[in-house]
Amino acid sequence: MKKKVQLASLGAVSLLVLTACGTGTVDANSSSLWERFVYLFAEMIRFLSFNGNVGVGIVLFTILIRTVLLPVFQFQMTSSRKLQEAQPHLRRLQEKYPGKDMESRNLLAQETQQLYKELGVNPYVSFLPLFIQLPVLLALFQALTRVEFLKVGHFLWLNIAEPDPYFILPILAAGFTFLSTWLSNKSLAEKNGATTAMLYLMPLMIAFFSFGMASGVALYWTVSNAYQTLQTLVLNNPFKIIAEREAEATAIKEKEARKKRALRKAQKKRK
């Protein structure tokens, strides 16, 4: 889990770094393949901007992109959950083979692979969705920051090209980021310092950048993280997962208790 969080942190930092690297204007005459991809996203947002309302286009396109990527996000969530549930078993194996010699390491590696196979866990496949999501989300982000016709217009109280004067969107973006992360972490069988740090660090980063960026970007972050929150509640409800885990634990205890009672009865009969 620690490696997973570290990779997620690296992905978030990489997203910000890559965004900062490309700041020039993108238009129909841009020649690079990446900028054409970004401009395609911008044109799709413009198409969805009913009556020229770019804010509506941003909302609709963000929902569209998140829906298209829904299977990818869901696969990532499922893989992460399986990997997390394997952690207690992995610790027992590490306690079984605490040595640093080559033989102990080989035995630990072999039994770990066997455990992953039994539980249907692939720790590397769960990282793949990150590499699928990043180019798409980065292109959407850059379309909002580098294409001129997406920097004009109004939406509700907002001037799309300027920061939210009332700081409503940055607060909402940070709030939904916190809520979606909290819901994702809620069902974890175990938590550590890294997951707790990410819970607070990501909302603070989102809020920090949203305060100074165009409100169109803050609008995108708000809608995207609100969608993530709803997705988690519907498809990966942590309260349901916790209830199922507790029911399973109770069933195991009851089964063990029945075995003990049956054993005691058998012993009494022998006497």
Percentage of the chain lying above the pLDDT 90 cut: 3
| Reported confidence tier of residue 226, pLDDT bands at 50, 70, 90 | very high
Q: Residue 15 in 3-state DSSP?
A: helix
The 10s digit of each residue's pLDDT in 11-52 is: 554 544 444 456 678 877 887 888 888 888 889 888 888 887
Q: DSSP letters of 187-242?
A: T-S---HHHHHHHHHHHHHHHHHHHHS-HHHHHHHHHHHHHHHHHHHHHS-HHHHH
Q: Is the pLDDT of residue 225 over 80?
A: yes
Q: Residue 146 in 3-state DSSP?
A: helix
Cα 123 to Cα 144: distance, rounded to the nearest angstrom: 34
- The per-residue pLDDT for 172 is 92
Q: Residue 166 in 3-state DSSP?
A: coil
Winning range, highest mean pLDDT, from 44-48, 155-159, 161-165, 181-185: 44-48
Mean of pLDDT values over 210-233? 86
Least confident of 23-32, 62-71, 128-137, 213-222: 128-137
| Reported confidence tier of residue 212, pLDDT bands at 50, 70, 90 | confident
- The per-residue pLDDT for 95 is 75
Q: Are the CB atoms for 189 and 85 separated by under 8 Å?
A: yes
Q: Is the pTM of this model over 0.85?
A: no
For residues 181 and 18, which has the higher predicted lDDT (pLDDT)?
181
Q: DSSP letters of 72-131?
A: HHHHHHHHHHHHHHTHHHHHHHHHH----SHHHHHHHHHHHHHHHHHHT--TTGGGHHHH
- The per-residue pLDDT for 19 is 47
- The per-residue pLDDT for 125 is 64
- The amino acid occupying position 99 is G
Sole residue written with tokens 């083979």: 97
Q: Are the CB atoms for 15 and 138 separated by under 8 Å?
A: yes
Residues contacting 225, CB < 8 A, separation 6+:
173, 176, 177, 179, 180, 206
For residues 10 and 38, which has the higher predicted lDDT (pLDDT)?
38
Q: What angle do CA 34, 75, 119 make, to 5 degrees?
A: 140
Q: Is the pLDDT of residue 6 over 60?
A: no
Sole residue written with tokens 């900028």: 35
Cα 66 to Cα 72: distance, rounded to the nearest angstrom: 10
Residues contacting 182, CB < 8 A, separation 6+:
199
> Taking all residues of the chain, what is their mean pLDDT, rounded to a whole number?
77
Mean of pLDDT values over 124-134? 68
Q: Is the pLDDT of residue 242 over 80?
A: no
Q: DSSP letters of 18-74?
A: HHHH--S---TT--SHHHHHHHHHHHHHHHT-GGG-HHHHHHHHHHHHHHHTHHHHH
The 10s digit of each residue's pLDDT in 42-96 is: 898 888 888 878 888 889 988 988 888 888 777 777 777 777 777 777 777 777 7
CA distances in angstroms from 141 to 17, 78, 230, 256, listed in the order given: 12, 26, 21, 54
Q: Is the pLDDT of residue 97 over 80?
A: no
